[in-house]
Amino acid sequence: MSAGPSTEEAPWPVRTVTRKIAEWIDRLGAVWVEGQLAQVTARAGTGTAFLTLRDPVANVSLQLTAPMALVAEQREVVAEGNRVIVHGKPSFFPGRGTLSLRVDRIRAVGLGELLARIERLRRLLAAEGLFDPARKRRLPFLPQRIGLITGRASAAEHDVVSNAQARWPAVEFRIENTATQGGLAVAQIVEALEILDRDPAVDVIVLARGGGSVEDLLPFSDETLCRAVAACRTPVVSAIGHEPDTPLVDHVADLRCSTPTEAGRRLVPDLAEEIARITGLRDRGRRALHGWVDREQRMLDALRVRPVLADPLHDMARRHEELERLRAATRAAVERRVERDGTEVAHLRARLTALGPAATLARGYAIVQRMTGGEILPVLRSTAEVAPGDRLRIRVGDGTVAAAVEDGRDE
């Protein structure tokens, strides 16, 4: 008897819901599913093996059940961390409320398929700009602390640490050991990345792993890990595998090193080289300073022997003598000019005396002028110019007198 529609007044019981879900899933039919085996539980003496298939990109998993005979036949394929393709029919168990996939075929993902998927992901990430060189940050010259993500007691850890400490013994590391292959590797590496990125003392993060097959290095081509590296605020160095190995994280990281050994050398400067460089620069600076001091000393010596500095009073004495000579010449020239001008003045005075009226009067002559009112007319030159009644002004050698002509002319 089919149940009516579920309403608030007439809700379905749990058994109805689980039955309907089981019926719907049963109608789905068999499907092909690809994923990574995260857990394999196959106990001898039991007829069924239990497996966990996880999505390598998303945090999603699916429970699988498989006949023990099938697992025994595919022993090399059915191992934790392997990428597989399974065929089976999904089933929902109402009693436990769980979903599982009853598989009847299991096969490994071929190398060609893996490479094709990696290439598709590479093009996708490149199109999003995650490989853009402009995004890559420069590493600090001397990091305060280096964060290292690698396998526990691995050769990669030894190579990075030993080479870095050989170049700069005081370098500090914060090491996070994680799985570097298999189903748990991506989640652990991403978690370690987040821990180191939050540590303010960590200046650079290194992902290090030794070489391996394409399947072994798959976690370092995982989309989740690549995006986590791109989201880091701290510069990230990728040192995965050997020179030919190029997982996708190499393109996303800020610096790609071909091996963990190279990463140890690139992370810090070489102490001996820096000491030698500083010593060389110090010697160059000392030589340059000594050369400059020598040049300035020679210039001072050359200035010191110049006459103006060697005997400054000599030039002053010479200038003083020249000044005295010029002063004497000036005095003589002035005296000569005064004497010459005095003689000329004496001559002019003698001439004026000889030509002046005083000399004439002294010899017995007089100067006569007619006076009209208050005016004095020009000098009379003869008696013919005098009329009776004129008032005259007469200057003689001993003074000036005034007279009037009454009748007749006065000689």
| Residue 400 parent element (H or E) | strand 399-404
Q: Residue 261: which of 239, 237, 235 has the closest Cα?
A: 239
CA distance linking residue 51 with residue 74, whole number of Å:
13
Look at 101-110, 139-148, 196-205 and tell me which has the smallest mean pLDDT.
101-110
Higher-confidence residue of 229 and 75: namely 229
List the single range of 133-137, 195-199, 391-395, 404-408 with lowest mean pLDDT.
404-408
Q: Which residues pair with 87 in a beta bridge?
A: 32, 105
More confident residue, 65 or 308: 65
> Is pLDDT of 400 > 60?
no
Predicted confidence at residue 42, as pLDDT, reads: 80
* Those residues with Cβ within 8 angstroms of residue 141's Cβ, 6 or more apart along the chain or in another chain: 269
Which pairs count as long-range contacts for 56-59, CB under 8 Å and 24+ apart, including other chains?
A: 56/83, 56/186, 56/218, 56/222, 56/224, 57/222, 57/223, 57/224, 58/224, 59/187
How large is the angle between the packed helices 223-231 and 185-198, nearest 10 degrees? 0
Mean pLDDT over each residue of the chain, to the nearest integer: 83
User: Terminus-to-terminus CA distance in the chain, angstroms?
Assistant: 193
Q: How confident is the model at residue 34 (pLDDT cuts 50, 70, 90)?
A: confident
pLDDT tens-place string over residues 239-264: 987 777 788 899 999 999 988 999 99
Of the pLDDT bands very low, low, confident and very high (cuts 50, 70, 90), residue 175 is very high
Is a pLDDT exceeding 80 seen at residue 322?
yes
What are the DSSP calls for 325-365, one per residue?
A: HHHHHHHHHHHHHHHHHHHHHHHHHHHHHHHSHHHHHHTT-
**20-57 exposure pattern, b = at least 16 Cβ within 10 A, e = fewer:** beeeeeeeeeeeebebbbbebeeeeeeeebbbbbbebe
Does pLDDT of 296 surpass 90?
A: yes
Q: For 381-390, how does the pLDDT look when each residue is reduced to its tens digit (9 = 90+)?
A: 676 777 777 7
pLDDT at 57: 62
Euclidean distance between CA atoms 67 and 42, whole angstroms: 9
Alpha helix ranges (H) inside 8-110: 14-28, 68-73
| Mean pLDDT confidence for 55-63 | 76
pLDDT digits (tens, 9 = 90+) for 143-153: 989 999 999 88
Is the pLDDT reported for residue 408 higher than 70? no
